[in-house]
Every structure is written in structure tokens, then in C-alpha cells.
Chains A and B, each alone.
Chain A
């Protein structure tokens, strides 16, 4: 496998976590422009765990995801109630808050001959656990996709559970969901924490692949893209956002020869798609029809 292809797989895999995170919130009827904030929280926390405190790679990345999930739960404090524009604006403000806060975060320690840790606008360099542990980049790519597969299965399982039904109900009509007795706030807090954790997992994996992370990685465009991925692939299945990432990155990479024009063409295609299919390619109706068709075939 060429280095280019492996790096592409890693990029798709990592962004798929952020897309899944935005997808969960879209199911709950919340359009978040701030998942990049949780992405960098996970990246910084995982980087600190391995580079500064010597934690092994896997527990370090897991800890990063956990810290981002806790961030999501804290974010839910003020943001579980707002909907629509208020939530969108609040999440955008949160993403920017994290980015700006990281510009002022200095927390370095001596590791061997180097000063390691966040250094304000210079970011956090020297996150080398992947390379010092002797794991090849190809093995890392396989690991990321395995983690993504497990996450996807777990998400699908949760979405088929009563919790998943509750999440979708809240997304459609929060008041009606409350009047049947669903613990609306608890579901929303757990979804915000879970979405934060997913984005943070992507961040931790990214930080160890790139060996550095900086405040610029909390740029709003990552949040916008994660929403676009979910909308392109469709909201009917957790596979949707991953298909969205693959289509987006796959298209843009395949048409590099078109230079800047490919962005214009792709943007137009996404607009057209969302006019025709406002909830993406694999929306709930498509998935419902497909599953009925498959069930019929089985009988």
C-alpha cells in the first residue's frame, strides 16, 4: 500500500469519528458547529497523557476521549436546553472558546532533552508515542479502522436500543418525547458527552499520527465539514457519516487535477444533493425501504 493511500485512509478514519459525533447530535435535532472543540480537547489530553506523562498509546488515546466526553457533559450544563439557532450559535462559540483558550495554554515539562507540552500559539509538538512504540503507520491505519468498526457497531447497537429511539424522538419533537415520559435531559446530556468523546477519540488518534496539534486544528471548518459528512451520507444509519467522509475526501482527492475548481464543483454537488435529499443519501426512508427489502429477501 502506498504511503499516500495509507495517509488517505487515516484521514478518512479520523474524520469519520468527528462526523459520527456530529451525526449523533443531528439525530437529537442539534446542529453543532463546535465538535472541533472536542476534537482538540481529545488531542491535547491524549498528547499530554503519552508525551508528558509517559502513558502508553492506547490508554492515552482512550483518556483523551474520556476527557473530551467529560467536556461534552460539562458543555451540556448550559447547552442541553437550547435548540435551533441558539444551539448552533452556542456550539460555534464553544469551538472558538476552546481555540482561543489554547492560544494561551502553556503547560510544558522536561522530557529528556526536550520541553514537551502545549506552548500557546506554537501548539503542542513532540507527541511521538506512535513512533517510539514501534507501531508502523500502516498498522496504525488498520488500528484506526478497527476502532472505527467497533465504534460503528456500538453506535448502531445503541441507536437500535431504547436509548437510540429516545434520541431520535427528541430530535423530532422534544415536547412530545417528554410527554411520554422519556428522561429528556438525561438522554441529551449522555448524547452530548458521547458525541464529545467520539470527536475526542478522533483528536487523540490524529495527534499521535501528526505528532503535533495546535489551536488552528480547532478551526470551525472541521465542524462544518463534520456536519456536511453526516448530511451527505445520510442520517438514516451511522454508516451515513462515514460514507459522507469517504465521498467528500475521495472526490476531492480524485479530482486534484481540477485544482481549486473541484471545491466549487463539489460544493455545488452537495447543495444539489441536499435540495433533493435534505437528510442525505441514506436517509431514514431509504434505510427503512432497504431493510424491508432485505428482510423480504431473507424470508
Chain B
């Protein structure tokens, strides 16, 4: 299994959000994606999941083209995701959110994320941390080939961040391709052996997290040219 993003460009009203971006992630690999605000990180996840159509390039999963497919078809091909702000079905129960209209048993996934006692509650009643875990359970429940996580620890305190990182570490199947967009570099370093840095829609770094802080282009993107030098 291999996820390939090949020369993908996305424009919004003439403004380039992704510019000829290429990335490949192999089965079992965990890729962290970082970058300043507006770098194109969420757009990358949106274009892979079919929510946004690229103006150029192709996205393939194990050789099958995903480009142009509607989001539900991309999901059925084995791509699951979470959102920057959890998008739960607040008027449905916690268990219904995990099933999400699919023929599967919600209990093992709820047990995995520690929400089993709340299975009968409406999702609207969850705390932000619980909402994150529920969205994660929903994404994991389909046993996806590709798991795309958009700031899974966003807005969480240190303890909850640690909980989510530990959960991801143990819950994601070894063969799953995982792409994590996250601002917290500690989380990226813990989960991913490889990190890509986006800046203004372009990839400016692709390598191990340990090499990140020494890269001049990364420092310039975050700090500006004068402060980086």
C-alpha cells in the first residue's frame, strides 16, 4: 500500500494553496506535516479526501487514482480523516457517531478510546477532549489503509495531548499509513519518523524530525530571513 501525491496544485480564487506538491507515504509509515498558518497543510488533507479538487496533479492509493472521486468514494477506498475542529454528529449518540451508518460494532472502538461508558450519550454532551477521542474512534473504526489527522491535539492541554499521542501510538494498526498535521513538534517527534514542512503551498523540507531545526529554509519560513540568519 502506498499513498502518492503527484505534482498536486490547488488554487482558491486565483491564489495558490498548493503548488506542484509531491509526497509519497508507504504502508506503515507515519508522516508528520508541519508549517506556518496558511502553508497548505489542511488543504493537503482536503485534496486527498476529495473535499477539494486539484487543478493539476494526481493522488493515488496503491496505484488507483483517487483524484476526482467524491469524498465518500475516497473514504470507501480506505482513507479516513479527522478535522481541525472535531466534526461530530452532535444530535446522534456517541455509539452512532462511531458506527456512522456503517455495519460495524462500535464497542471495541469506544473501549479503545475510553468512551465506552458514554456510548449512549449524545455527542453534543462531550468535552473537547472526549470529542477528539470520539472523532478518532470514528476514523479508526473503518480500519482504514490511510489515516489523515488534522491537528489531533489542537486546543488540548498537556495531559490530554499526551493521552492522544499515546492513544495514536498504540491504536493505529502497524500497516496503516498515517499523516499527522500538527503544530506541536513534540507530538510529531514522538509519533513520526519523517516530517514534511510546507510553506506557502510548497514542500520545503522532507526528512527526520531531528534534522528539522537545523534546516535553513524551515527556520526562514518560521522566523523570517533576518532572524533565521
Question: Which residues from chain A sit less than 8 Å from chain B, CB to CB?
Answer: 162-163, 165-166, 168-169, 172-173, 175-185, 284-285, 288, 292
Query: Does B138 sit at the interface, judged by CB under 8 A?
Result: yes
Q: By the criterion CB–CB under 8 Å, are B101 and A182 in contact?
A: yes
* Range for the number of chain B residues in contact with chain A: 20 to 34
Q: Tally of A-B residue pairs with Cβ under 8 A? A: 79
Q: Closest B residue to A163 by CB, please name it.
A: B101
Proximity string of chain B (177-219) to chain A, C-beta cutoff 8 Å, 1 when within and 0 when not: 0000000000000000000000000000000000000000000
Among A166, A179, A181, A185: residue with most chain B CB under 10 A: A179
Q: Closest B residue to A176 by CB, please name it.
A: B87
Q: By the criterion CB–CB under 8 Å, are B92 and A175 in contact?
A: no
Q: By the criterion CB–CB under 8 Å, are A181 and B75 in contact?
A: yes
* 8 Å CB contact of B90 from A163, A166, A172, A181: A172
Q: By the criterion CB–CB under 8 Å, are A292 and B120 in contact?
A: yes
Proximity string of chain B (70-91) to chain A, C-beta cutoff 8 Å, 1 when within and 0 when not: 1110111000110100011111
Q: By the criterion CB–CB under 8 Å, are A180 and B100 in contact?
A: yes
Minimum C-beta distance from A161 to chain B (A): 9
Query: Does B99 sit at the interface, judged by CB under 8 A?
Result: yes
Q: By the criterion CB–CB under 8 Å, are A181 and B76 in contact?
A: yes
Among A169, A176, A284, A285: residue with most chain B CB under 10 A: A176
Q: By the criterion CB–CB under 8 Å, are A179 and B101 in contact?
A: no
* 8 Å CB contact of B100 from A165, A284, A285: A165
Chain B residues whose C-beta falls within 8 Å of the C-beta of A180 in the assembled complex: 75, 80, 100-102, 138, 142
Proximity string of chain B (88-128) to chain A, C-beta cutoff 8 Å, 1 when within and 0 when not: 11111100100111110000000000000000101010000
Query: Does B51 sit at the interface, judged by CB under 8 A?
Result: yes
Query: Does B9 sit at the interface, judged by CB under 8 A?
Result: no
Query: Does B19 sit at the interface, judged by CB under 8 A?
Result: no
**Chain A interface secondary structure, helix, strand, loop or mixed?**
helix
Query: Does B49 sit at the interface, judged by CB under 8 A?
Result: yes
The answer for the CA separation of A109 and B98 in the assembled complex, in Å, is 57
Q: By the criterion CB–CB under 8 Å, are B120 and A179 in contact?
A: no
Q: A168-B92, A185-B70, A285-B122 are in contact. List 8 more A-B contacts (CB 8 A).
A: A162-B101, A162-B102, A169-B101, A172-B90, A178-B50, A179-B49, A182-B72, A292-B120
- Assuming the contacts A175-B87, A176-B83, A176-B89, asked whether A182 and B100 have C-beta atoms less than 8 A apart, the reply is yes
Chain A residues whose C-beta falls within 8 Å of the C-beta of B96 in the assembled complex: 165
Chain A residues whose C-beta falls within 8 Å of the C-beta of B72 in the assembled complex: 177-179, 181-185
Q: By the criterion CB–CB under 8 Å, are A175 and B89 in contact?
A: no
Q: Closest B residue to A284 by CB, please name it.
A: B91
Q: Closest B residue to A285 by CB, please name it.
A: B122
Chain B residues whose C-beta falls within 8 Å of the C-beta of A166 in the assembled complex: 101
Chain A residues whose C-beta falls within 8 Å of the C-beta of B93 in the assembled complex: 288
Chain A residues whose C-beta falls within 8 Å of the C-beta of B89 in the assembled complex: 168-169, 172-173, 176-177
Chain B residues whose C-beta falls within 8 Å of the C-beta of A162 in the assembled complex: 99, 101-103
Minimum C-beta distance from B98 to chain A (A): 10
Q: By the criterion CB–CB under 8 Å, are A172 and B70 in contact?
A: no
